[in-house]
Structure 1
Amino acid sequence: MLNPNLDQIQLSKEEYERYSRHLILPEVGLEGQKRLKAASVLCIGTGGLGSPLLLYLAAAGIGNIGIVDFDIVDRSNLQRQVIHGTSWIGKPKIQSAKDRILEINPYCQVDLYETRLSAENALDIMRPYDIVIDGTDNFPTRYLVNDACVMLGKPNVYGSIFRFEGQATVFNYQDGPNYRDLYPEPPPPGLVPSCAEGGVLGILPGIIGVIQATEAVKIILGQGTTLNGRLLLYDALQMKFRELKLRPNPIRPVIEKLIDYEEFCGIPQAKAEEAKQQAAMEEMTVQELKQLLESGSNDFVLLDVRNPNEYEIARIPGSVLVPLPEIESGSGVEKVKELLNGHRLIAHCKMGGRSAKALGILHQAGIEGTNVKGGIQAWSREIDSSVPEY
């Protein structure tokens, strides 16, 4: 309802005081604040992006905020997901978010959808809202959100983050481009590491999330120039912003129905191939590794394929570091051959994925090895709790 009947919207005396700094802005004023109160915004995700944008949408006076999330608060979230607190660890993120929103602004109506967004429920969940904000971190959900917004005619305020870089734009607004104009095809599974693997500067999602909130408010107010047709790129290390022009692709496929987005992004195929490789790959548990280390045997090399900074954080005693990028480039393969010198190879990483990939490369070079299931994370949880989890 981006063009509401403002005569039906009233502000209380307390709201006049609360929004006073908005009311004195000519671009907002009483009419604009009523528009914000009449508006409804759906946020997909309450993680790094969802946290700051929800805080500011609530403070701005958005009347109806919907939240979709099915995750629980983890200690590792708190470095960047500022809407959650330590007391909420182990509890649902959407409940944590709702409590914080209502503490900021009790005049907000908060709708909760504690579910995974899917092709079966996306249209019903998104239909009642004026604007959808994509705070997700995976390609299947991004394509799903995009396609549902196209079918429903909803603006899609997009953001994404990785390491020190972020991007934001507005899709499907005023005949502008949508997500498929930026990414016609999804990247191969595993090509783009997750934040859990690649890391992210905790402040970065705050900047991108606030940009998303700003765009949503501008759309509601009908003020300024939105990011429609412009992809804003941000580099936190260099403190630089730059823009890329986006245009609708005249020959893009017409979106008429929602599909299986896991299948579209190649997730089942990748999982099947991974399972096939794991079935062919020898594995050992951390308990078995512990027994081997305690036996005093010296006929093996324990290879750690994580990055050097991860090795500084935590390590398994006796492990030798050869990072996966070195193995992928070829230089690490020769290094491993020299280390082995006829000994047995055992490899690990943080959770088991990168070491399995390393062993696959080494296998092609004629080197066989055993993968440690669960990696150093399992070692910390099941063997030695003094080893930090990260």
Structure 2
Amino acid sequence: MTTPMLNPDLKAIELNKEEIERYSRHIILPEVGLDGQKRLKAASVLCIGTGGLGSPLLLYLAAAGIGRIGIVDFDIVDSSNLQRQIIHGTSWVNKPKIESAKNRILEINPVCQVDLYETRLSSENALKIMEPYDVIVDGTDNFPTRYLTNDACVLLNKPNVYGSIFRFEGQATVFNYEGGPNYRDLYPEPPPPGMVPSCAEGGVLGVLPGIIGTIQATETIKIILGG
């Protein structure tokens, strides 16, 4: 483990008996321990999107004991989402995704603070929404929002945990972390409109976002712990 990027006052953070029992399998890991679990409780993470990537990410961050989770999404649950967006259930079809996600998160972790932003991320609101959070996770499915997320992370000097999926392939990495490259260093400009099909146009294997989203959750936890 390296020195954690986030340095909360661990003496001011307490884990009660129930939390110690809940997270006992974390706490017995030397790489996590009691202090590591306190770091997770003190951390705040913003997820852009509650779709295929955001679904497993949010479930595992909630289960890991992240203390504050923000969610940005303006979409509603569609029946075609249920094949891969596992945070949503049939009863939530035609209802806001962020409400569905919050409901599931609180079932897993009732003490988690869940902030909802039912809006489209834009150049007008991105910095304000992202500023309060320690780590930003890109669960977007389009290039304009992906580049906007990256640029806001650069301006705010926040790590950007990136993921993308298409058909049978996926990518995950961390940008703008500890002096590392950002997304534009790899891809300076977005592709021309229409060149890259969406999941609706090209399809996606249902389990794939689960794999990539879980990798994103792992990278987020590693950043918080200093891994």
Q: TM-score, normalised by structure 1?
A: 0.57
Q: Shift in Å at residue 107 of structure 1?
A: 1.8
CA distance in 1 between counterparts of 2:113 and 2:197 reads 36
Q: Does 1:11 align with 2:20?
A: no
> What is the aligned partner in structure 1 of residue 33 from structure 2?
29
Percentage of pairs with the same residue = 85
**SS of corresponding position for 2:123:** coil
CA distance in 1, matches of 2:189, 2:91: 41
Q: Does 1:216 align with 2:220?
A: yes
Partner of 1:186: 190
Q: Whole-Å Cα distance in 1 between the matches of residues 35 and 91 of structure 2?
A: 39
Shift of 1:12: 1.3
Write the distance in 1 (CA, Å) between the matches of 2:59 and 2:31. Answer: 22
2:59 aligned partner: 55
Q: CA deviation at 1:28?
A: 0.3
| Structure 2 residue aligned with 1:131 | 135
Partner of 2:84: 80
Of 140, 146, 158, the match for 2:144: 140
Q: Give the deviation of 1:192 after TM superposition.
A: 0.3
Aligned residue number for residue 203 of structure 1:
207
In 2: Cα distance, 1:179 partner to 1:135 partner: 14
Amino acid at match of 1:59: A
Superposition pairs of residues 348-367 of structure 1, within 5 angstroms:
none
* Bigger relative contact order (CA 8 A; separation at least 6): 2
> Once the two structures are superposed, what CA deviation does each residue of 1:291-325 show, in whole Å capped at 9, x if it has no partner?
xxxxxxxxxxxxxxxxxxxxxxxxxxxxxxxxxxx
Which SS does the other structure have where 1:79 is aligned? coil
Deviation at 1:216, TM superposition (A): 0.3
Specify the SS of the correspondent of 1:65. strand
Aligned length: 223
Letter in 1 for 2:91: S
Q: What is the correspondence of 1:77-156 to structure 2 with a 5 Å cutoff? A: 77-156=81-160
For 1:77 and 1:46, locate their aligned partners in 2 and report how far apart those are by CA, in whole Å. 10
Q: Residue type of the partner of 1:210?
A: T
Q: Please list the CA deviations of residues 153-180 of structure 1 after superposition, one character each: whole Å capped at 9, or x if unmatched.
A: 0000000000000001100001100010
Determine the C-alpha separation between the residues in 2 that align with 1:178 and 1:81: 27
Query: Aligned partners of 1:137 and 1:79: how far apart in 2?
Result: 16
User: 2:218 and 2:74 mapped to 1: Cα distance?
Assistant: 25
How is 1:263-342 mapped onto 2 (pairs within 5 angstroms)? none
| Superposition deviation, residue 52 in structure 1 | 0.2
Instruction: Tell me how far apart the structure 2 counterparts of residues 201 and 125 of structure 1 sit (CA, whole Å).
Output: 31
User: What SS does the corresponding residue of 1:82 show, helix, strand or coil?
Assistant: coil
- Segments of structure 2 that go 5 or more residues without pairing to the other structure are none
How far did residue 185 of structure 1 move? 1.3
Give the corresponding residue for 2:176.
172
Paired with 2:61 and 2:160, the residues of 1 have a C-alpha distance of: 15
SS of the equivalent of 2:88 reads coil
Q: Which amino acid is 2:76 matched to?
A: I
Q: Which residue in the other structure is 1:362 paired with?
A: none
Cross-structure match for 2:49: 45
Find the aligned partners of 2:118 and 2:74 in 1 and give their Cα distance.
5
Distance in 2 of aligned mates of 1:7 and 1:202: 43
Which residue pairs with 1:245 in the alignment? none
Letter in 2 for 1:23: I
- Name the CA distance, whole Å, in 1 between partners of 2:190 and 2:209: 22
Structure 1 residue runs of 4+, over 3 Å off?
A: none
Distance (Å, rounded) in 1 between the aligned partners of 2:189 and 2:39? 37
Per-residue CA deviations over 1:173-228 (Å, capped at 9, x if unaligned) read: 011000101111111110000100100000000000000000000000002xxxxx
CA distance in 2, matches of 1:208, 1:57: 14
